[in-house]
Structure 1
Amino acid sequence: MTGTEDDLVEYGFRRVIITITAVLCALLEIVDTTIVNVALTNMRGSLGATLTDVAWVITAYAIANVIVIPMTSWLSQQFGRRNYFVVSIIIFTTASFLCGNATNIWELIAFRFIQGLGGGALLVTAQTIITESYPMAKRGMAQAIYGMGVIVGPTLGPPLGGYLVDNFSWPYIFYINIPLGIIAAILAFTFVRSPKYGEKLKASQVDWWGIVLLSAFIGSLQFVLEHGQQDDWFNNTTITALSVVSVFGLVLFIWRELTYKYPIVNLSVLKDGNLRIGTIMCFILGFGLYGSTLIIPIYTQSVLGWTATDAGLLLIPGSITTAFMMPIVGRLIQKGVPQGYMVGVGFLIFFFFTLMMYNNMTPDTGTEHLYWPLILRGIGLGLLFVPITTLSLSTLKGKHIGEGAAFTGMMRQLGGSFGIAIITTFITRFSQKHRVDLISNLDGTKLEVQEKIALLQKGFMSKGFSTNEALKKAYQVIDYSVLKQSTVLAYMDIFLYLGIMFLCCIPIIFFIKKGKNKINPADAMH
């Protein structure tokens, strides 16, 4: 296998072009995960859909993504990596055009699902192509370059989406993919090479049951996570039924993959200790990355009253910091600084970021209060992403690199889905709890409460309202300020618990196998 693996290492101009193509594809896929968030209101209006219906635009894409990611390595081996990669780009680009032209909400959801099937493949295949195009000694740098696309992507989505929606219309968030997709497809077809895998399987040998069980398990789980909160979790029969399907699907899928001769997902690759630790860390990273990317724009828009574009722009300096950190971290890995130490420091920095957010949150926090915590988050992500990814794939060879990348990619996406589901649930629960606590302290017999209501009532009366109307409005203002305060307290709680979770993750680094991920000087010669 080594001979084939070394054949894929590229040098000079070819490597630059392959790297640009792979990063562009990863960026296209990830930007599309978050760009839609700011356009949902406009889609609702023009397609005449309900909020629940329009949420499916995000859910359909996520489900397709997570189903296809574990299968990418197998599909690459069946059809040849270059062919599979190019076809995925074409599917993604064509589906983007169809999404922009959708005439009703269900058409849009169907095309988003197809777009997700093409997109999920781009992410993992791009990572494998970059990893294999660099010699062993430079793999840390390769992951750093790939990481720039993956980390900057989720943050580029909202401001770009906000700009396109404000200045053009929502279909343009899909149309923007078309020229980029065409360029990426041409470059990939011209420059990317496929490794020589063994014989392809006959149709009768294909693990069809594996595909069905994987789709049932992942599809049901993703639906439960996306819709659990709004459907009141296990009080809803659909959520309960799909949770059961997900659990049985997982158990049967694992049994099938371990016993079938030609499994669709090679679970044996998880025997590699560093990959096992890497997949756990990728899950936590997804939880923190997508979770915090979700709550910061919601907090700034719903509590502070910012526009979608302003909320998106707030995240950019932190993303630039991460992008700046990536090559530095890549170089440190090349020099032999243990990845485990960097991951430990990254988790610690993330803890300080959540602590600063906890301390800075008020109903009228300004940009200056959020700027430095988000820069700190950028540094933390830089220290986490590259070391975790390199560490996960560091002791794998040949086709196992693709299989390992599929696991880390899937776990990062699932971590994000779990993060978003858990965070939105707890925001609702904590807000209700704090609201009850705050109202119980608002005693109408207290002098300061009476004075506040009287002052507000006078203010409304001076604007021409009758005594009763002014009193009603005064109560509304009090009620709104209680609601706002209880929401802020809920966000503070979320950041505190996120911080504690990251702090508890630090001991995981002691399970990393030391000597293994040092680069063999012989490999470094390639």
Structure 2
Amino acid sequence: MIKLANKSDLPRQGFVAVAVVLASILTAFDIRTAIIGLADLRGAFGLSFDEGAWLSTFATAPQILAAPSVGWLIAVFGVKKVMTGPVALYSAVSVLIPFQHTFEILAAMHAIRAVVLGMFVGATLMIAFRNLDRKYWIFALAFYVLRIPFAQNLGLYTAGSYTQSIGWQWLYWQGALIAPMVGILFWYGAKPVVTDRELLSRADWGGMVLFGVALTTLYFALDQGNRLDWFRSGLVVSLMVATGFLVLVFLWHEAHVQHPWAHVLVLCSRNVALGFAAIACFMTTSLGSSLLEPNFLVSVARLRPEQIGDFSASLAILLLLIATVSAVVLVRTIKQRATLILGFTCFIVSAWLGTQLTNLWSLPEFRLIVVLQTFGEELVFLAAVATLFSNVNPARAVSLTAYVQVMRLICSETVATTMTTWIRQREQLHSNLTGLHLTGTTPGWNSMLAHLGSGSSAGSASPDAVKRGLGLLATTVQREANVLAYIDGYWITFVAAIAGLVVVSLMAPSPPHPLTTR
């Protein structure tokens, strides 16, 4: 039986709920705006292309260093002791970064900031479950999920608006304003906790360090892989080998330590394993809105970030609220499997619409895709995470939280970098295949170039006109090759959504759980 909250507890629980929402959205929003605004940041800091790429990696990869273990730390020490210092550190670093111009200092400060950001999201679920009444867990989880489409949609608009209006510095200062609010809410909302000496005495420090370092090393390899051409780079190969070695040592350590922190046996439950598989399918098929659409609009439609986010900025709040409420209602009524089916169906339809892409598409043509993707993201991720927690042994919930962070960061980075590589290689293939049929021996070659260069059907075949025509033809071929590559990308998301339905069909009914019962 679920115990109702005392009236005196309601303000405290309200503080925690608001803090969880702000922390989740702040992290996703911060990362998204930094990625979108990277070109402007390179110019502001005076960085080369390679330095900018490394800065982006240092701003994201260290998130995974502490994120898996923060749930355990909160279980032992409590929210106030774990989160107060990092919140203050994050705010201070965010204020100072715009005043730095040395690459080494910038990289170090971005790495520190990333570690704290990882702690924010890693802490949200554990804080909600330990401080809110069970009947409110589903709402906390829903807002945890909300951060994904919120950051994808509004992050584009905000990043572009900052750099074009009030200044690129606000890409950092926005977090410095919000983070202290999160810290204050956690301080007054979290329950008083006495340090759990027994759990502390059984601490698996070795496992936490090995796990965090291994995943951070892997993230560095993934984030730099596409730029350095993967296994043709000695650095990427070295990072991959180091990751493999550290993972093997971690698995051996967890199998032999007396009290393992994140034993892999937590993944042996049928529904837990399938739940993680559903999340992997979700992360792949959701690339339609997070990667394919914005990149197409930038590379083909030639729009700036604030223009891409224009539609989302006007309707995103209402759309996200409707999608979130719908997800909660469906998980509570028709349960997780049916909700997953509806969500993946939304992804299938949106991916199929994306395969109809042409070079004439702009914002209006993507609106239905954005709506379907938003509903799909809310329905699938909420139902999948609810499936994980409703099927895990409560004694291993902390271990499960660690692996959720792995899926959130490592899996998302893996599918994103893989898709980026796929799009790049498919564009090269389509460009090459198209170019094979456009050569000097093609009938009417010179007259076609002259026509393109002069802009008139009666244009003369002057050398200047032919030269201009050749440049215009090359641009056209590249544009069409990009369109075909993005169509191929949408087909990948379509297949991933179908695979998600197959995964759901293998799931067994989940037992009753506070997340899914009223």
Question: Is the TM value for this pair above 0.5?
Answer: yes
Alignment equivalent of 2:375, drawn from 375, 379, 393: 379
1:304 aligned to 2:301?
A: yes
1:121: which partner in 2? Answer: 119
Q: Does structure 1 retain, via aligned residues, the 8 Å contact 2:327–2:378?
A: yes
Q: What SS does the corresponding residue of 2:186 show, helix, strand or coil? A: helix
Letter paired with 1:124: G
Q: CA deviation at 1:57?
A: 2.6
Post-superposition Cα deviations, 1:149-206, rounded to whole Å, max 9, x if no partner, equal 3431233222111111111322221011122111211111111125667425679x65
1:246: which partner in 2? Answer: 243
Distance in 1, matches of 2:130 and 2:392, equals 11
**Greater mean deviation of Cα atoms: 452-461 or 95-104:** 452-461
1:160: which partner in 2? Answer: 158
Letter paired with 2:236: I
1:84: which partner in 2? Answer: 82
1:456 aligned to 2:425?
A: no
Q: Does structure 2 retain, via aligned residues, the 8 Å contact 1:144–1:386?
A: yes
Letter paired with 1:301: V
Flag the 1:169–1:369 CA change in 2: closer, same or farther, 3 A: same
Post-superposition Cα deviations, 1:26-82, rounded to whole Å, max 9, x if no partner, equal 111111111112322222223221112112232123211122221112222343233
Alignment of 1:497-508 (within 5 A): 497-508=492-503
1:338 aligned to 2:335?
A: yes
Alignment equivalent of 2:290, drawn from 293, 296, 319: 293
Flag the 1:329–1:520 CA change in 2: closer, same or farther, 3 A: closer
5+ long unaligned stretches in structure 1: none
1:438 aligned to 2:434?
A: yes
Q: Does structure 2 retain, via aligned residues, the 8 Å contact 1:353–1:377?
A: yes
Flag the 1:517–1:509 CA change in 2: closer, same or farther, 3 A: farther
Letter paired with 1:513: A
Flag the 1:413–1:283 CA change in 2: closer, same or farther, 3 A: farther
1:476: which partner in 2? Answer: 471
Q: CA deviation at 1:490?
A: 0.4
Q: What SS does the corresponding residue of 1:229 show, helix, strand or coil? A: helix
Flag the 1:515–1:349 CA change in 2: closer, same or farther, 3 A: closer
1:425 aligned to 2:421?
A: yes
Letter paired with 1:357: G
Post-superposition Cα deviations, 1:402-453, rounded to whole Å, max 9, x if no partner, equal 4323322320222210121101111111011101111112254444544431
Distance in 2, matches of 1:244 and 1:291, equals 31
Q: CA deviation at 1:210?
A: 2.4
Alignment of 1:249-260 (within 5 A): 249-260=246-257
Alignment of 1:157-306 (within 5 A): 157-193=155-191, 198-199=196-197, 206-289=203-286, 292-306=289-303
**Greater mean deviation of Cα atoms: 242-251 or 69-78:** 69-78
Distance in 1, matches of 2:46 and 2:23, equals 32
Q: Does structure 1 retain, via aligned residues, the 8 Å contact 2:162–2:171?
A: yes
Q: Does structure 2 retain, via aligned residues, the 8 Å contact 1:141–1:331?
A: no
2:506: which partner in 1? Answer: 511
1:100: which partner in 2? Answer: 98
Distance in 1, matches of 2:179 and 2:510, equals 42
Q: What SS does the corresponding residue of 2:228 show, helix, strand or coil? A: coil
Q: CA deviation at 1:25?
A: 0.9
Q: What SS does the corresponding residue of 2:226 show, helix, strand or coil? A: coil
Distance in 1, matches of 2:8 and 2:248, equals 41
Flag the 1:135–1:212 CA change in 2: closer, same or farther, 3 A: closer
**Greater mean deviation of Cα atoms: 341-350 or 426-435:** 341-350
1:407: which partner in 2? Answer: 403
Q: How many residues align?
A: 517
Q: Does structure 2 retain, via aligned residues, the 8 Å contact 1:8–1:132?
A: no
Distance in 2, matches of 1:290 and 1:100, equals 31
Letter paired with 2:292: I
Distance in 2, matches of 1:169 and 1:364, equals 32
1:489: which partner in 2? Answer: 484
1:39: which partner in 2? Answer: 37
Q: Does structure 2 retain, via aligned residues, the 8 Å contact 1:69–1:120?
A: yes
Flag the 1:136–1:239 CA change in 2: closer, same or farther, 3 A: same
Flag the 1:202–1:322 CA change in 2: closer, same or farther, 3 A: closer
2:345: which partner in 1? Answer: 348
Flag the 1:6–1:108 CA change in 2: closer, same or farther, 3 A: farther
Distance in 1, matches of 2:186 and 2:286, equals 29
Q: Does structure 1 retain, via aligned residues, the 8 Å contact 2:390–2:510?
A: no
Letter paired with 1:425: T
Q: Does structure 2 retain, via aligned residues, the 8 Å contact 1:130–1:146?
A: no
Q: CA deviation at 1:264?
A: 4.2
Distance in 2, matches of 1:347 and 1:195, equals 41
Distance in 2, matches of 1:334 and 1:279, equals 20
**Greater mean deviation of Cα atoms: 56-65 or 269-278:** 269-278
Letter paired with 2:322: F
TM-score (norm 2): 0.91
**Greater mean deviation of Cα atoms: 194-203 or 483-492:** 194-203
Alignment equivalent of 2:360, drawn from 364, 368, 376: 364
Q: CA deviation at 1:397?
A: 6.6
Post-superposition Cα deviations, 1:117-145, rounded to whole Å, max 9, x if no partner, equal 11111112112222344444453333223
Q: Does structure 2 retain, via aligned residues, the 8 Å contact 1:346–1:383?
A: yes
Q: CA deviation at 1:320?
A: 4.6
Distance in 2, matches of 1:437 and 1:338, equals 48
Distance in 2, matches of 1:157 and 1:450, equals 47
TM-score (norm 1): 0.89
Alignment equivalent of 2:109, drawn from 108, 111, 115: 111
Letter paired with 2:501: I
Distance in 1, matches of 2:304 and 2:14, equals 38
Q: What SS does the corresponding residue of 1:441 show, helix, strand or coil? A: coil
Flag the 1:9–1:292 CA change in 2: closer, same or farther, 3 A: farther
